Amino acid sequence: MVSNTEIVWVYGSSGSGKETFIRHIIDNKPTELLKRLGWLGKKLQLCSESVNHIAQFYQDPVGDKRGELLDSVFRLAQNENSVVLIKGQDLDLKHKRLIRLREKLPERDHKIIFLHANIQELYRRWHLKSWWEESFTEETVKEWLVPQSESLERLSDVFEITSLESDAEKKYKTVKF
């Protein structure tokens, strides 16, 4: 069975604007951006568990609830001509949820959007996070980006990865991953 439904994981560092991007797409339906992403005319769906169950620290019990993502996305992906948007976390990479979902729904298109923001902007945004610690530096931001980038790079043979610039104007220009 051939499908025109896409399952899209949205990744980026903490503070890169993943949820902002998803909400902007779903709430505003920006024509130019939807056209560029090939989503114009498609039903846009949010996997609500992916924004409601966000682990904030190592071994956060909320992270256990992210296992519900697969069943939720499976249900949403039954709709033809749609895009299912999922706010990704490193925890999903660790538990191989992207691969497991791809195996469960092989006839769907599985993609990754990576939101890029410059280090200074990410550092500024981190100050607003509940988990912010005064000991964090711009170097901490750089260090935290490496494992996620490496994990996503390993998936690039089986997932189309589009990297977008996350900026205050919400232009989301395509940039190199």
How does pLDDT run across 68-116, given as a tens digit for each residue?
Answer: 899 999 999 999 999 999 999 999 999 999 999 999 999 999 999 999 9
pLDDT tens, residue order, the chain (177 aa): 446 999 999 999 888 999 999 999 999 999 999 999 999 999 999 999 999 988 877 777 887 889 889 999 999 999 999 999 999 999 999 999 999 999 999 999 999 999 999 888 888 888 888 878 888 888 888 888 899 999 999 999 999 999 999 988 899 999 998
Query: Which pTM value belongs to this model?
Result: 0.92
Rg (Cα) of the chain, in Å, rounded?
16
Angle formed at CA 119 by CA 176 and CA 150, multiple of 5 degrees:
55
The Cα–Cα gap between 39 and 23 comes to 15
Please report, in angstroms and rounded to a whole number, the separation of the first and last CA atoms in the chain. 31
Q: Is the dihedral of CA 34, 36, 42, 48 positive or negative?
A: negative
